[in-house]
Structure 1
Amino acid sequence: MVAIDSSTFETLIPSRFISFTLPNPISHDSLLRVAVLDSPLTHSPHIAAMLVPQGRESDWIFSTKSGHLQLLFTSPQPISRFILIGNQFHHHSDDSYQEKFQVWLKPFLLALCPKSLFINGKIPDIPILIYEDNVISSVVIHQCVSSHVGEMLVENVEIKTNNFRREFRRRLRFKRMPNLIQTEVIIVPETDSSLNSVVIGDAKFMLDLRVLVHPYLAPMVASLSLISEYIEGRIRSGLRPKALCLGVGGGALLTFMAIQLGFEVLGVDSDKEVLKVAKNYFGLEDSEFLHVIVEDAVKYIKKLAYRGKRNNKSSFADSEPDGIGHLRNGDEVTHKFDVVMVDLDSGDIIDGISSPPLEFVRKRVLLAAKLILSEFGILAINVISPSQSFYDNLVNHFRKVFHELYKIDVGNGENFILIATVSPQVFSVGDCSNSFLLRLKSVIPETYINSIRKI
C-alpha cells in the first residue's frame, strides 16, 4: 500500500497515472486497487469511474496504463480523469455488501476529483461506466516481447454465444493496445467429451481454421465477389489466383485464402516475433502455396512495383531464393496479384486506432499497389476511420488512382472494407455457373457479398 497525500488529486496533470491499494472499507480481509489516469488531452474537466468486472483484474485492459488509456479514449464522452477500481467485490456478492460499497464509493470518488469541478459549491456527478464484452473466462497461454510492438499475449477464451452453446477461441493481443484483438480463431477441445465438462485452463485445444471469426476478415474476403468471374476464368485456365496480404498478424486470413479458396498467398509483416507466434499458436504454416516474409509492407510493395521484370516463374517459391517470389531487374512486375489485402493500423492509441496508416495513403504507395495488381485486380483494405475528415481524405486519395471504389460495412460500428478496382469493369455476382462464386458463398456469409456498395 502507498500513502497518498490528499492534495495529490486537486489538479489535473496530463498523462499522469497513479495506482495504489487500500483496505476494503466494507470487507477488511481484502484490498482495493485504485488507478487514477489524467487524460493526455486537455479539455473541460469531466470525471468518470469504472469498476473492474469480477475476476478480470489481471486482464491487460484493466491492469495496464495503456489499457486504461483505451478505456478513457473509447468513452462516449471526453474524460479528463478516469478512475478504475478493482477487487471491489472480492468474494462478496450479496446485496448488502454491494449496497454498503456503493454508499462508500461516492465520497471516495469525490475525494479524487480536481478542485476545478467544485464550482460555486456544486458537487459534481461522477458516472460509473460499465465494461461489457463477450468473455466468460480466459487463460493466458503465452507471453513474449517484440522490438516492434512490445509485449504480446496469447490467450484462450470462452465467449458468450446467442445459442448458449459453449464456444472457445484463441486470441492475440498487444499490450500497447490491449482492448484491440489482433487475431482471433476458433479452437475446439481435443477430446470428444461433453463440452459441459471442459475447463478452459486444463483442456487441450486444436485449431479450427475453416471459419473466419474476426469481424472484418469475412467482409474482406467478400470483396473477391467483384472479380469472381475473372478468378473463375483463371482457375479454368489452370492458373491459381494470387493474393498479397500486407499485415499478417496471426495469419488466419492467409490460411483461409490458401485452404478454403485455393489461392497462392504471400504474406508480408515487419515483425518476426509476431510471425513466430502465428506459426506456433495460430496454425500459420509455410507451404507450396503459402509463403511469409519479414519486411515493411509499404516499402515492400514499392520495391515490387519499381524493381522491374525478371524471368517468368510459376510460383512465389521458384522465383527467388528468399521466397519473395518476384523480380529483380527490368521494368515491370512479372507476377501480378489478383488481390492485395491490407490489414495495417497506425497503432497510435492517443490519436485513436486508425487504419490504414497515413503512410499507405500516399500517392506513390497507391500507384505501387495498382502496378502490382493484375488487369482486373482489386485492393481490399480494412479501414478504421477516427473521423469524417479521415474518411473523406482517404476516399479522395483512392479516387485519384483507382477506377472505382466500393465499400462493405462490417457492422460493428468501427470497421469497413474499402475496395479499389484497377479496371472499371465489374462482373456480375449472380452467375450460377461460376463455381468460384458458389464456393465463396459457401465459406463466408452471403450477406457481406450482397452489402457491397459503390461509393
Structure 2
Amino acid sequence: MALDKSTFETIAPSRFISFTFPNPSLSNSLLRISVLDSPIYPLKSPRVAAMFVPKRRESDWIFSTESGHFQLLHNSPGISRLILVGNLPINDSSPPEFYRRPVDNDESLQSGLEVSLKPLFLALSPKSCFENGIPEIPILRYEDNVVRSVVLGRFIGSLVGEMVVEDVEIEGRIELVSCPKREFRRRLRFKRMPNFIQTEIPILPKMGLGCDSAGIGEVEFLPDIGVLVHPYLAPMAASLKLVGSYIEDRIRSGFKPKSLCLGVGGGALLAFLRNQLDFVVVGVEADEQVVSVAKQYFGLEDDGHIKIWVGDAMDYIERLAHQSCDKNSDCVETEFDVVMVDLDSSDVRTGVCAPPLDFVRKHVLLAVRSVLCDNGLLAINVIPPSGSFHEIIVHEFGEVFSELYQIDVGNGENFVLIATKSPVTFPVSDCENSFLSKLKVVLSDAFMDSIRKM
C-alpha cells in the first residue's frame, strides 16, 4: 500500500512507520526506511535527523525493532524525528549469529547515498521545518567498539522476555608491543532494551591467545569472574571502603561478611564478592531464566556461599524485614553487612530508570534499613531519567538513613548512591586492615578516592 506524503507533515508523538524504498545506488535493491517520532512533542520547531544502519548489523535488535529505534532516538537529544536507513535484513528464519566489522567502511558509497536520499529526507520532514527555508538534515553516526561478535544463545524469560548471550571482541588498547591488546567480553542483552547491556564480563580464551591467534567464534572462551568491567559495578564494590574497618572486625572475629544483592542479572557482582572478597552472598532475581543463563554462561555458582532466591526483590526485602525468628532456630539470615541494589525499570520511550520508583517508597527503604547490621551499608546503582528524580531519591534516602555518599561512575549516565545505617567512622590508619588492602588490589583506587559525602 502506497504511503500518503501528508502522513509525515506533522509530528505524531511515538509514531513508528517502516517501509521499503528503491536503493538509488544499487538497481534491483531495496532499502528499509523507518521513521520514528519522539514521544515528547517539540515546543519549538522540530528537528529531523537521519542515520544509516552499519553494514551487516541490519538484523541487530538495535536496528530492527521498534524498541531499538526508540533507544536510538532517546540517545539523540533534541531530535524530534529520526529517519533510519539500512539494507533489508538477510531473508532467513533467524538473524545471523556471527558479525565481523567490514574491513572497508564504504564511506564513499554512503556519501553518495546521502546525497541521493536527501530529497527523500526532506519529503519525510514536517512542514514546520520549512518555515525558514530548506532545512539541513544532519546524518548521525552510530558507533560502538564491537569488532566481532557471536551469539551463544537466545532465551525467553517469563518476565524479561527475549534475551541474547553473545561473545564480543572490542577495540583493544594500544600497547607498546607489535599489536594492540585484544579484549573479549561476554554480554547479556534484553530485547526490550536492545541497546542496553545488562551484564558484561571479561572472557579468556581456553587455550590462550597471541596477537595473531584466532578469536571470537573460532575458539572457546571461559568467563573471568575476578574483574568487574561493567561501568557501575566496580564503583558499587568500592563503596565497601566506607565500612572497611567494620568488615575487618567481623573477619577477625571469625565471621564472613554477608551481602544481599537485589537484582542478579549475569551475576558478575555476586561472583566478585564471593570469589575476590570472600563474602557470603544472597541474590534475589525475579526471572528464573536469567538465573539459569547466569549459571550457564557467566560463572555464577549457587553453592553454600552464594544462594539465589527467585522472586520479586521488594517483596523479598519486606518479607525479610518482618520475619521473626527464634535466635536458637535455623532460619534465613535477616541481617546483612551490605545490601547492593541493581534494579531498573525500563520504558523504550523514556529509557532506563534505576532504581524503579517503587523502590524509593519509604516503607521499602525502611525495610532495607531494618535488614542491615548497625554498621551496615546500602549501595545502589542510580540512572536518573531527570534532575528531579535525582533530587527525589536523595531526599527520600536522606529521610531514612544516617549518611549519604555518592560515586560518579563517569559515563554520564550512572552514579552510585551509598547510604549508611550509622555514621561512618574512619580509623587513624588502615595499614593493618587486610580487607581494605585486598579491596585496593582488586579495584581501582580512582573509585574509592572519589567517594563524596552528600
TM-score over 0.5 (shorter chain) = yes
Q: Does 1:166 align with 2:182?
A: yes
| Structure 1 residue 409: Cα displacement | 0.8
Measured in 2, the distance between the counterparts of 1:49 and 1:291 equals 48
AA at the equivalent of 2:347: D
Find the counterpart in structure 1 of residue 16 from structure 2: 17
- Match of 1:156, SS state, is strand
Deviations 1:432-451, CA, capped at 9 Å, x for gaps: 11000000000010111111
1:226, 1:428 within 8 Å by CA — same for their partners in 2?
no
Q: Does 1:55 align with 2:56?
A: yes
| Structure 1 residue 195: Cα displacement | 4.5
Segments of 5+ residues of structure 1 without an aligned counterpart are 320-324, 327-334
Q: What are the within-5 Å matches in structure 2 for residues 50-449 of structure 1?
A: 50-77=51-78, 79-87=79-87, 96-119=108-131, 122-163=133-174, 164-312=180-328, 319=331, 325-326=332-333, 335-428=334-427, 430-449=429-448
Measured in 2, the distance between the counterparts of 1:14 and 1:162 equals 42
AA at the equivalent of 1:211: V
| Residues 48, 428 of structure 1: alpha-carbon distance in 2 compared, 3 angstrom cutoff | farther
TM-score, normalization: structure 1?
A: 0.91
2:266, 2:293 within 8 Å by CA — same for their partners in 1?
yes
- Match of 1:259, SS state, is helix
| Structure 1 residue 233: Cα displacement | 0.6
| Residues 98, 349 of structure 1: alpha-carbon distance in 2 compared, 3 angstrom cutoff | closer
Measured in 1, the distance between the counterparts of 2:134 and 2:434 equals 67
Deviations 1:54-90, CA, capped at 9 Å, x for gaps: 232222111111011011112132x221111113999
Measured in 2, the distance between the counterparts of 1:99 and 1:365 equals 54
Measured in 2, the distance between the counterparts of 1:95 and 1:452 equals 44
2:243, 2:424 within 8 Å by CA — same for their partners in 1?
no
1:10, 1:112 within 8 Å by CA — same for their partners in 2?
yes
| Structure 1 residue 51: Cα displacement | 1.1
Measured in 1, the distance between the counterparts of 2:219 and 2:118 equals 42
Measured in 2, the distance between the counterparts of 1:11 and 1:41 equals 13
Measured in 2, the distance between the counterparts of 1:430 and 1:298 equals 38
Find the counterpart in structure 2 of residue 31 from structure 1: 30
Segments of 5+ residues of structure 2 without an aligned counterpart are 89-100, 175-179
Measured in 2, the distance between the counterparts of 1:104 and 1:113 equals 16
AA at the equivalent of 1:72: L
2:335, 2:373 within 8 Å by CA — same for their partners in 1?
yes
Percent identical across equivalent pairs? 59
Measured in 2, the distance between the counterparts of 1:419 and 1:200 equals 38
2:173, 2:182 within 8 Å by CA — same for their partners in 1?
no
AA at the equivalent of 1:145: I
| Residues 132, 310 of structure 1: alpha-carbon distance in 2 compared, 3 angstrom cutoff | farther
State the Cα RMSD in Å. 2.1
Aligned residues: 435
| Residues 155, 96 of structure 1: alpha-carbon distance in 2 compared, 3 angstrom cutoff | closer
| Structure 1 residue 97: Cα displacement | 3.1
| Residues 378, 312 of structure 1: alpha-carbon distance in 2 compared, 3 angstrom cutoff | farther
AA at the equivalent of 2:256: R
The worse-fitting range, judged by mean Cα deviation, of 6-15 and 149-158 is 6-15
Find the counterpart in structure 1 of residue 97 from structure 2: none
| Residues 349, 151 of structure 1: alpha-carbon distance in 2 compared, 3 angstrom cutoff | same
AA at the equivalent of 2:74: F
Measured in 2, the distance between the counterparts of 1:420 and 1:214 equals 22
Deviations 1:176-209, CA, capped at 9 Å, x for gaps: 1111110001111112353523241232111111
| Residues 36, 245 of structure 1: alpha-carbon distance in 2 compared, 3 angstrom cutoff | same
Measured in 1, the distance between the counterparts of 2:17 and 2:58 equals 16
- Match of 1:191, SS state, is coil
- Match of 2:204, SS state, is strand
Q: Which runs of 4+ in 1 moved over 6 A?
A: 88-92
AA at the equivalent of 2:345: S
TM-score, normalization: structure 2?
A: 0.91
Measured in 2, the distance between the counterparts of 1:393 and 1:340 equals 21
Find the counterpart in structure 2 of residue 331 from structure 1: none
1:228, 1:429 within 8 Å by CA — same for their partners in 2?
no
Measured in 2, the distance between the counterparts of 1:228 and 1:91 equals 49
AA at the equivalent of 1:125: E
- Match of 2:417, SS state, is strand
Measured in 1, the distance between the counterparts of 2:428 and 2:289 equals 40
AA at the equivalent of 2:73: L
- Match of 2:272, SS state, is helix
| Structure 1 residue 103: Cα displacement | 1.7
Measured in 2, the distance between the counterparts of 1:96 and 1:204 equals 37
1:33, 1:86 within 8 Å by CA — same for their partners in 2?
yes
Measured in 2, the distance between the counterparts of 1:96 and 1:284 equals 47
| Residues 28, 100 of structure 1: alpha-carbon distance in 2 compared, 3 angstrom cutoff | same
- Match of 2:159, SS state, is coil
AA at the equivalent of 2:80: S
